[in-house]
Amino acid sequence: MSSSHTIPKNYDFREVEERWQRTWRDEDNYFDPDSKKPRFIIDTPPPYPTGNFHIGNALNWCYIDFIARYKRMRGYNVMFPQGWDCHGLPTEVKVEEIHGITKNDVPREEFRRLCRELTHENIAKMRTTLRRCGFSTDWSHEYITMLPEYFGKTQLSFLRMLEKDYIYQSEHPVNFCTRCETAIAFAEVNHEARETKLNFFDFDGLEIATTRPELLAACVAVAVNPDDERYTDLVGKSLTVPLFGHEVSVIKDGDVDPSFGSGAVMICTFGDKQDVHWWKKYGLPLRKAIDRKGRMTALCDKYEGMTAEECRAAILADMEKDGILKRQETIEQRVGTCWRCKTPIEILSERQWFVRIKPEKILEAAREVHWYPEHMLMRLENWVEQMEWDWCISRQRIFATPIPVWFCAQCGEMVLPDEADLPIDPTVDRPKHPCPNCGSEEFVGEDDVLDTWMDSSISVLNLTGWDGSGTPAIFPAQLRPQGHDIIRTWAFYTILRSVALTGQRPWDGILVNGMVLGEDGYKMSKSRNNIIPPETVLDKYGADAFRQWGAMGSATGQDIMFNWKDVVAASRFQTKMWNIIRFVLTQIEREPVDEAAEVTELLDRWLLVKLSQTAAEVTNAFETYQFDQGLKAIRDFTRNILADDYIELVKGRLYSDAPERASACRALTITVDALCRMIAPYTPHFAEECWSQFMEGSVLKQPWVDFAVDDPEAERIGAHVVALTAELRRYKHDAGLALNAPFGKVNIYAPERIDDSGDVARALNATVAWKTGEPKLEKSVAGVAFNMAVVGPTLRKQAKAFMQAVEALPPEAIVTPPATVSIDDEEVSVPEDAFTPKFAFSVEGEEVEVLDFDEVTVTLRRD
């Protein structure tokens, strides 16, 4: 116990949080590789370093921090790393914007340098926010994917998967953004609704409807539904493509929707995924009409060099001129767009690198992982089961991990670097050996780079120390926390890579959190102007209040609406608890407290029972990642049990000089100690500050509450006393009396002897006499109360009739139930505890009021 001191009247979160953040040392949060403690490795998401830590990230980090702090207190060796997923288009675009250049204006390496520079600045800003939130990050396990030590591992993983035939290159249709000039994966394609024109035109005598006339030059077939009687004669015939003149044949396929457009569809390479499907199925020729920059190719004759949009207008104009354009309809269409720049994607056939997808193996591993909440697994299953193409991992960009491959300029042989030399940049570095096939020393470096997910999908391998020589000793990790928006990307790719490189699942569990919506209920976005940066909340109410909001906003896994009210409520709870701390402190400092004092009095024992139940509830909540329930249990206990019930009842005893006050002081000390520990994962600064008023050292380094009190007698009788007091106070209130007004004489008749140490009398400002047995009152039975939990299951269909029969019984029979009652001439036995009588009281002589409360009868005479 610390010596007597003054505790500030108000809790100043600004001063307190800043002070503790200065006091804590990073080393305390380091994962210890030599430790004998059980491990708890968290595969934290590496955010994209935009410079702003989004409130959605912050929610995710709150969860992670709750877990990390809880697990440390439980004696685990916790790894809570911080990664940064640096590569990718957004930074390239930002650099182009800042410096007023395009990526081709400066040498490749210079452009990369500018990207790295910006990224470092952004990371620095975001680190500040992380620290302000009070996250217990393990800064010794920070990783930055753009640094050689990380992307060298990305390259190593690439080579390993290439060896295992998981990676191959091939020409295949891919999603391509012509603005970014790069291939992208399906996961990066968004779908947007747009209005467009459906154009009906004469195709060599057949009416065809298309939304993409600019692809006419790429037309390779016309398809109709086999059951469509309009076109049965045409199948197998050949038609001449208007404006271009090449011949295509008419095929039949059940996928053609006869009710859409004219029922005849032209297949082009490639208008959409369906075209790719048919193209493969029927082995159709390939006609490339659009190039990587979105310009029409030489195949398009006079339209060559136009953009797709210009070409569309030109072709429609020409059709009109030739009189073959019949009509146009406006329709709503869903178009795939680039996730980053919103440009409609094209499907181009390109030589690209792919990762083979082996659905069964991925699903097998995914099912070994424990999913919280469980149903999120289904999202992954649905995604995996409907995948049609392999994962396209090559990108035609600059700021990314280079694909570590050269090709022999003479014979085309693929040449790989020595693993010891990684990382390499094949556009700068040269192979150390001549071509093993032809001996040539002329090489062409691969200038494609890797999809950013190739970096981030080995985060857990990196953390566990994977070096290509097998499965790391501390693999798999214990937990992956992430949002449900990236299940089909980050979670999916990580499982895929883990299976490919180690043959195992990457983690024991995955905790999927919801999205943070704005106060208006919509996803936060610039256009809606509903973005709230975490810093705004930190400035106004502090990190601990923000963290409480994160815990309480909604059940884990559900989307959570940002809500200032909840933040305010959180900060008020801190004020409330702070005042409790002040109260307890003044009481225990009044006289030196004997640490060995025993908790002897009824209500003190009752408090400890409730505390013990709360501790069990909070522990269970942490174990199942139900952070809202844990904090709710703490708040309920603190406000209702501790403040409103207990302290109000024992105040009088504490103010007195009664020897029994030592028992209350002891109970309060134990309670405050446990509360500080339990709330520490949620509000570390606040918990430290409270703890430091009483105890030495840091609460964060204390073991988790290990507190179980089993005292059924105190629990039962204490509950009676508390409820009884509440009833009597309500009575006082209803009678228009102040709660501390003198109240006269109260006789309480309970079935057993109760010793409340005089607490009730002091709380009510009354003379209280506890008695056993029944008061000498005249009472009459006024009704009956049924215990449905007994009546229902026992009597089932007869329940209703039974209740009617009981109600019809004479009063004595309700007080002393008969063995049976008759229902429809049948004798039905009366189950135990099926009902209790409701009494009405009448008193002769002295005028006393009677309160009937459970098994307890109270008579009172007001002064």
H or E segment and range at residue 371: strand 370-372
Taking CB under 7 A as the criterion, the residue among 800, 826, 840, 854 binding RNA is 800
Note whether 693 and 581 are within 8 A (CB).
yes
**Closest to RNA by CB, 119 or 494:** 494
Q: What CA–CA distance (Å, rounded) separates 807 from 834?
A: 12
* Window of 398-406, 564-572, 686-694, 704-712 that interacts with RNA by CB under 7 A: 564-572
- CA of residue 476 relative to chain centroid, distance: 21
**Closest to RNA by CB, 376 or 510:** 376
- Asked if 852 is part of the footprint of RNA (rule: CB under 7 A), the reply reads no
Question: Using CB under 7 A, which residues numbered 169 to 188 contact RNA?
Answer: 186-187
734's CB contacts (< 8 A; 6+ apart) are none
DSSP assignment of 408-468 equals: ETTT--EE---GGG-S--TTT---SS--TTT----EEE---EE-HHHHHTTHHHHHTT--S
Taking CB under 7 A as the criterion, the residue among 194, 255, 522, 774 binding RNA is 522
* Window of 429-437, 582-590, 694-702, 742-750 that interacts with RNA by CB under 7 A: 582-590
- Asked if 540 is part of the footprint of RNA (rule: CB under 7 A), the reply reads no
* Least Å from the CB of residue 705 to RNA: 21
Write the interaction track for RNA spanning residues 112-151; mark x where CB under 7 A is met and - where it is not.
----------------------------------------
* Window of 313-321, 412-420, 639-647, 691-699 that interacts with RNA by CB under 7 A: 639-647
- Asked if 571 is part of the footprint of RNA (rule: CB under 7 A), the reply reads yes
**Closest to RNA by CB, 114 or 177:** 177
H or E segment and range at residue 860: strand 856-861
Residue among 463, 461, 457, 507 nearest 33 (CA)? 463
* Window of 252-260, 456-464, 602-610, 642-650 that interacts with RNA by CB under 7 A: 642-650
- Asked if 565 is part of the footprint of RNA (rule: CB under 7 A), the reply reads yes
Q: What CA–CA distance (Å, rounded) separates 189 from 411?
A: 37
Taking CB under 7 A as the criterion, the residue among 232, 382, 780, 829 binding RNA is 382
* Least Å from the CB of residue 331 to RNA: 13
**Within the chain, how many helices (H) and strands (E) appear?**
24, 33
- Asked if 559 is part of the footprint of RNA (rule: CB under 7 A), the reply reads yes
Question: Using CB under 7 A, which residues numbered 332 to 371 contact RNA?
Answer: 334, 336
* Least Å from the CB of residue 545 to RNA: 10
**Closest to RNA by CB, 572 or 701:** 572
Q: What CA–CA distance (Å, rounded) separates 857 from 297?
A: 96
**Closest to RNA by CB, 269 or 401:** 269
**Closest to RNA by CB, 99 or 733:** 733
* Least Å from the CB of residue 348 to RNA: 17
* Least Å from the CB of residue 382 to RNA: 4
- Asked if 6 is part of the footprint of RNA (rule: CB under 7 A), the reply reads no
Which tokens belong to 509?
């569990």
**Closest to RNA by CB, 434 or 518:** 518
Residue among 200, 208, 216 nearest 329 (CA)? 200
**Closest to RNA by CB, 781 or 799:** 799
H or E segment and range at residue 183: strand 182-184
Taking CB under 7 A as the criterion, the residue among 317, 378, 708, 735 binding RNA is 378
Note whether 184 and 393 are within 8 A (CB).
no
* Window of 214-222, 305-313, 550-558, 855-863 that interacts with RNA by CB under 7 A: 550-558
* Least Å from the CB of residue 115 to RNA: 26
Taking CB under 7 A as the criterion, the residue among 3, 5, 6, 10 binding RNA is 10
* Window of 521-529, 612-620, 819-827, 850-858 that interacts with RNA by CB under 7 A: 521-529
Taking CB under 7 A as the criterion, the residue among 420, 473, 596, 789 binding RNA is 789
Helix (H, G, I), strand (E, B) or coil at 223: strand
Q: What CA–CA distance (Å, rounded) separates 47 from 442?
A: 40
Question: Using CB under 7 A, which residues numbered 733 to 752 contact RNA?
Answer: 733-734, 736, 738-740
Note whether 764 and 746 are within 8 A (CB).
yes
Write the interaction track for RNA spanning residues 586-625; mark x where CB under 7 A is met and - where it is not.
x---------------------------------------
* Rg over CA atoms, the chain: 37
Q: What CA–CA distance (Å, rounded) separates 392 from 2?
A: 64
Question: Using CB under 7 A, which residues numbered 13 to 32 contact RNA?
Answer: none
- Asked if 4 is part of the footprint of RNA (rule: CB under 7 A), the reply reads no
* Least Å from the CB of residue 88 to RNA: 17
* Position 655, amino acid: Y
Note whether 775 and 831 are within 8 A (CB).
no
* Window of 17-25, 43-51, 314-322, 782-790 that interacts with RNA by CB under 7 A: 782-790
Q: Residue 274: how many CB atoms within 10 A of its CB?
A: 15
275's CB contacts (< 8 A; 6+ apart) are 267, 268, 269, 347
Write the interaction track for RNA spanning residues 189-208; mark x where CB under 7 A is met and - where it is not.
xxx-----------------
* Least Å from the CB of residue 312 to RNA: 23
Phi first, then psi, for residue 208 (nearest 5°) are -125, 140
Note whether 650 and 761 are within 8 A (CB).
no
Question: Using CB under 7 A, which residues numbered 461 to 490 contact RNA?
Answer: 484-485, 488
The DSSP 8-state label assigned to residue 863 in this structure reads -
H or E segment and range at residue 629: helix 627-636
**Closest to RNA by CB, 147 or 801:** 801
* Least Å from the CB of residue 143 to RNA: 26
* Least Å from the CB of residue 336 to RNA: 7
* Least Å from the CB of residue 77 to RNA: 31
411's CB contacts (< 8 A; 6+ apart) are 435, 437, 438, 440
Helix axes 359-368, 376-385, angle to 10 degrees: 170
Residue among 827, 776, 772, 819 nearest 798 (CA)? 827
Q: What CA–CA distance (Å, rounded) separates 828 from 819?
A: 8
**Closest to RNA by CB, 702 or 836:** 836
DSSP assignment of 422-437 equals: -S--TTT---SS--TT
CA max distance for the chain: 121
Residue among 609, 598, 651, 835 nearest 758 (CA)? 651
Question: Using CB under 7 A, which residues numbered 802 to 841 contact RNA?
Answer: none
* Least Å from the CB of residue 632 to RNA: 7
* Least Å from the CB of residue 792 to RNA: 2
Q: What CA–CA distance (Å, rounded) separates 661 from 593?
A: 10
**Closest to RNA by CB, 5 or 797:** 797
- Asked if 102 is part of the footprint of RNA (rule: CB under 7 A), the reply reads no
* Window of 145-153, 283-291, 378-386, 702-710 that interacts with RNA by CB under 7 A: 378-386
**Closest to RNA by CB, 299 or 670:** 670
Question: Using CB under 7 A, which residues numbered 237 to 296 contact RNA?
Answer: 273
Phi first, then psi, for residue 335 (nearest 5°) are -125, 140
Helix (H, G, I), strand (E, B) or coil at 402: strand
Question: Using CB under 7 A, which residues numbered 694 to 733 contact RNA?
Answer: 726, 729-730, 733
Site size toward RNA (CB under 7 A) is 72
281's CB contacts (< 8 A; 6+ apart) are 253
Question: Using CB under 7 A, which residues numbered 386 to 445 contact RNA?
Answer: 386
**Closest to RNA by CB, 103 or 582:** 582
